[in-house]
Structure formats: structure tokens, C-alpha cells
Chain A
Amino acid sequence: MPFDVLARILGPLRRPIVSSRYPAEPPLLAPAVRGLPELDPARCTREAACVAVCPTGALALGEEDWSIDVGRCVFCAACAQACPTGAIRLGSRVELAARSREALILTTRLEARR
């Protein structure tokens, strides 16, 4: 007789809640999680090493801004590793859904050229 099946069905009644209250509360993420690549404009030297290394062509560097296409990014962190000044890091933003294709392209304004 599968008594242990019964025990395993009843046992969890004594267990506290193991799920989180997402989305009412922010998601529980491990510190190592690779979210949206973010650029620190103050450290960007416009060498475009990130653009060259991106395997999906998600990054673009313009005259005034740096943009990332979240619809293409696979969060591989190659850009962060390639950046000579360490200006890119993969942050903890993971809620990246948008209502239109264009809204998936996120732009960061670069500092004016000195």
C-alpha cells in the first residue's frame, strides 16, 4: 500500500508557503542572474567592441546614443566581457515585455563628445 504517497500528500500541509508573491512583490533573483545589459555612459569610450562581439546584432552605437534590441538580446554577456572599460554590466532588470516591436529597442544617451 502506498502509505508514503499519502504521507507525501499530507506532509506538505505543515510546510510553509514556498512560492513568492510575484508580481505583487519583486521577483526573487539570484545575484548572479544576467538581466538587461546596461551601459554606464560616463565610462563608454565609443570603441563599439560590444557591437562587434554581439552574436545576435542586438546592439547599435550611434552618434548620440547606444541602443539595445531586447527582442534580439540573448543575455549571453559577451558585450560586458568585451567592453574595454567595463562600462556594460548585466543588471537585474528581467521584466522586459513591451507592447510593440519598437518599444523593445531601449536607448541610452551617451555623454557629449569631449
Chain B
Amino acid sequence: MDELNERPADEQPAGERLAGESPGGERPAVGLEAYPADADGVRHLPPAALATVAGGLVEHGARLVMVVGLDLSGLDGAAGGAAGATAGAPAATRAAAAGATAAARATAAARAPAGLAVEVVLGLPDGELARLRAAVPADEPAYPSLTPILPAAQWDEREIHDLLGIEPTGHPDLRPLVLHELADLPAYPLRKRRPTKPAASEPATEPATEPASEPATEPGGAPAGQPPPVRPFRPFVAHGEGVYQLPVGPIHAGVIEPGHFRFSAVGESVLYLDARLFYTHRGLERLVEGRSFERALPIVERACGVCTVTHALAYSRAVEQLTGTEVPPRARFARVLLAELERLYNHVGDLGNICAGVGFHFGTSQLGWQKERLLRVNEALTGHRYLTGVVAPGGLRADLPGPVLAELGATVDGIAHDVRGLVRALLRSEGLMSRLHGTGIVSRELAERLGAVGVAARASGLAHDLRRDRPYEAYPELDLPLVTMTAGDVAARFHVRAQELAASAAIVRDLAGRLPPGPWREPLAELPPAGRSAVAGVEGPRGPSWLWLMAGPDGSVERLHLRSASFANWPVVAAAVPGNLVPDFPLINKSFELCYACTDR
């Protein structure tokens, strides 16, 4: 452990952590008080105030959770009745609503859902969330961009621009992100397409369906019935003598996901990298709209193949928050067990993939075999190698089988022991480690500025881990080490994973032996009134996945937004590559091991 650059978590300034030691006490005065929170904790601001208030919070240590674009026009008919007639009773009985004043609830019910809106969610240093929502005018949907003060929001805002046609004014880079040239769309994908519904249920003065008074030439100005303009994507490239372009992808040599990478290079050195993703955009967020909470789950769970527990858990927690459902203890512990099994097989596989990035096949194949052993453990425990179909709103879909649980601790222990031996061998392999050290450095400042999360953040010295910062399920009852490094290079990300997987194995061993008996699923308490929304975050293997969920009528999904850790970290990858050699790109890429599918959705 000679070159580890280790720094224990205790040395981190307390203010760097989302979970501060003084909950609620010293809220910065940034004008939040002027906008009282409604029952969901949403503060309604004019668009012009959004950047000011968010900027003030960021200056006091708040981090971006997500920016979500909304088309609330679908609620106009439903919310009036639902919020008025049925909202009172469930809201009053909900534990979460206990702190909210009657006045706040009245405000929420009286608030007429507008058309288009954006909501920025920030994580405050004390562990709380700040939700700031601004309605944007329907005729000219725009608001002052947050990206200049909060660069982490750059992709969020481009996505909103693409899918909802809301323009973040002053955004430095409004090239298309999600929509590719081939997209032949009848309307902005996430706007409610009202004309397809029966006309009777619609108010006559629906702003989003009003005919445009002028041809839609402005990117943000097209109404719902108009197709978004097709805008070609031009990669950012460097120019100069001896600078050449190296296009890579979107199809790669290997069974991996599609992404186009444009290197501007001089000789072997990368000057600049621009990445184009979203080739696997499946319109998942649109697909779940109108579905019942139950029927939306399998789709959200499959946003990507390797974070199924993370996504299902984030979704389930959002649904439980909306319905006021209390999850039974057995499920709370089992969910942590499953989440750590997911982290375990991902981290083991990712260490193997780092070896693949330098062509060190000994490590790749050996760790691949250890990952396979873990996948078989998953299969025996849940019936699925990648752990789908177990976590569900209210608890678990099925109980974990006792005989498998009885052997789980010893099995996982054995695998963790073998992995530890392998990691030791890898650390002593100079050929491997000399490639990992000093490659793909992400400085602490860069990580902070671009909003790096998860392993990538912790390897650059940022002590962020939702399991500690906003503990959920059974995590408050567990002793969880926080692993951070300061070097920010591939080796640091390697070490963070190696240490975290040991901790995960210990949790699995601990929990497998003491899952509390009893029921594992609780029926959903009350269906929420249309228009209520909740935000839930779960720390997955790559970092936190945040899920934003709004209820529609009769327990359906009105709007769902998933911001995965991969989405947050892709811009960091692109920034980590310049200054390195072209052949180091696969290695740097694999040290983040980001997922394309849950970025693209």
C-alpha cells in the first residue's frame, strides 16, 4: 500500500459532507424563506429567481441532485378534483406530512398546475434536499440557465431543451444531447400530447395546444403540436498544425454499448475529447407515463442491466414516500443485502475491466471468474443473475430463501477472500500499476465543479456517499466505512473499489446471518393525489441514482425522471482524458465504468 495516497474520512472538512453535524441549524440566508415549501417540500419561484437562489445555496455547499423538466398540463383536469376531494385525508395521515402546516397543504391544493416548469433539486450540506420549481411561460418557454453557476447541470439542461423544448437562456452549449439527427418526432417527446386524448376531459384554454402565432423557428419556441427542429450535432474539436481528429465509435470492438468519441490529438496526446452518447435512448421516461406504479417498476428496474437493485430501490422509495408506506424490517435489511451484492459483483467486474483496459488478461479472466461466482450467488438467492424482480414498492416481491441465506455469508466470504488475494497480486504487478498511476487524473476541484459522484468522486477526495450522507433502509444501523483517496487517477479508483467491495462483503456476511423475521412486503398505504411528487436517491455501485416521481390520477405515473450516477459522471470522463495518451482512453473509461443505458434511458 505504498503509493496509496490514502486519507481517512475524518480529515475531510465537515462542511464537505452532505450530512452535516448540525441538522437544520444554520441554514444560509439566500432568500429561501421568501418561498415557503409546499407539502412535497417544493418551493415555487419565478424563473428569474431560480439561478439566484440556487446559486446562493451552491455557494453555501449545496450540490446538484438534478434538474428536471416538467409538463404539468396533464394535471389540469385531474388535479383539481383529486387534490380537492381526496388530498386532505391521506396527506393528513402521512407521517411525512406531519411537519407541514395546514397552510402549506392548502397552498399545495390551491396551486393550479401550470404548463411547463423546471425543478432544480439540490442536496444541502445538512443532508436535506432543496426543491426549487419555476413555471416557465408557455408561449416562450425559457428560464435563465443554471449551468454558468452550476456546471454540473450542463447535461440536465440540454436534455430539458431537447425533450421539452424549454430553453435555458445563457447555457454555453445548447447542442442537441439526447435527440440525434435521425429522430423524426411529431412533437417534443416529453410534452403531453393532448390531442390524442378525448377532447371532453380537456380544458378549452390549454396553453400547450394553442396554435403557434408564428412559425416555430426558435428551438425553444415550438408548441407541443410542432416537431422540434432537427439540429445537426457538431463535435467540439481542436484545430491547429498537426492536430488530427480520431473518431471512435459508436460501434466498438467488443460487446459493449454504443458511444461516439471524437479525439483531437497531437501525436499520441489527446488535446480534447468530445463524447456523443444517447444512442440507446429508449424513451423510458415517456414509456412509464400513465402506467400504474406496479406496471412501471419492471421498466424502471431495467433502465440498465447492472444497477437493477439501485434503480428499483430508488423507484420503490419514491413510491413509498408518495403513498406513506412503511416498509417492514425484514425488507429494509434484505434491500441493503441486495444492494451490497450488486455493489460487490459490479466492483469485482470493474476491477477486472480495468485490467482489460491495459490488456492484462490474467486479472481480467481471474476477476471475471470471481464475478461469475457472485452472479451465481445472485441467481441462487433471487432467481436472477442480475437481481431483477426482487425489490418492489412496499418491500420485496418475494422473500429470500432461507437455505440460501444460511450459506450466503460463507460463500461470499470465500469469494471476497479470493478477490483480496487477486487484488494483492495485481498491486504487485508493476507492469499493471505503472499504467494505472497518474493516468486519467481528476482533481478534487474538477470533480467538485463538474459534480462527480460515487467512486469517481471518492477517488478524488470528495467524501460523498448517500449511504452515509442520507442513510436509508437499514444503513443507519450499519457501521459503514467511507473510502476516499486523493490522487484522482485510475489507481485511486481501483483502490476505492477494492476497499469498498471488502466492506460490502462484510455487510452481506453480517446481514445474511441476522435478517429480521416477519413480513417482507407491506401493501401501499394510500394512493397519492395527482400532482404530488417525491425525490429518492440510492447509492449504487457507480454512485447515487436519483429518481424524481410525480403521481398522476389513480396511482399512476405522471412524470418520472431518473438521473443515474453514470449521467452525472460522463462529463467528468470527457474532462479526465485530455493530457493522456489515446491508448489510455479505454483504461480511463473503464476506471469509471459508466453505463450508457441508464445515461441514455
Residue numbers of A with Cβ under 8 A of B are 1-2, 4-5, 8-9, 18, 29-30, 32-34, 53, 55-56, 74-78, 81, 90
Contacts and interface: CB of A to CB of B under 8 A. Distances in A.
Given A8-B422, A9-B362, 20 more contacts: A2-B425, A2-B429, A4-B424, A4-B428, A8-B362, A8-B366, A8-B421, A32-B381, A33-B379, A34-B384, A34-B389, A55-B291, A55-B297, A56-B298, A74-B388, A75-B384, A76-B298, A77-B397, A77-B398, A78-B298
Q: Max chain A CB contacts within 10 Å: which of B380, B422, B425?
A: B425
Interface string B285-297: 0000001001111
Q: Max chain B CB contacts within 10 Å: which of A4, A5, A75, A90?
A: A5
A32 B379 contact: yes
B425 A4 contact: yes
Contacts, number: 63
A55 to B, nearest CB: 4
B397 A32 contact: no
A8 B370 CA distance: 13
Interface in B559-576: none
A53 to B, nearest CB: 7
Closest 6 CB pairs of A and B: A32-B383, A30-B380, A4-B425, A55-B298, A76-B298, A30-B379
B382 interface: yes
18 contacts: A2-B425, A2-B429, A5-B428, A8-B421, A8-B425, A18-B369, A30-B380, A32-B383, A34-B383, A55-B295, A55-B296, A74-B302, A75-B389, A76-B388, A77-B389, A78-B295, A81-B397, A90-B383
Interface residues of B, number: 31
B240 interface: no
Nearest to A7: B425
Interface in B406-448: 421-422, 424-425, 428-430
Interface of B: 291, 294-299, 302, 362, 366, 369, 376, 379-384, 388-389, 397-398, 401, 404, 421-422, 424-425, 428-430
A2 B379 contact: no
A84 to B, nearest CB: 16
A100 B510 CA distance: 49
Contacts of B428: 1-2, 4-5
Nearest to B379: A30
B294 A78 contact: yes
Contact of B380 (A32, A53, A75, A81): A32
A39 B298 CA distance: 21
B505 to A, nearest CB: 20
A60 B424 CA distance: 55
A26 B398 CA distance: 27
A2 B213 CA distance: 74
A75 B425 CA distance: 40
Nearest to B427: A2
Nearest to B360: A5
A33 B382 CA distance: 7
Contacts of B389: 34, 75-77
B531 to A, nearest CB: 24
A58 B357 CA distance: 40
Contacts of B430: 2
A59 to B, nearest CB: 13
Contacts of B397: 77, 81
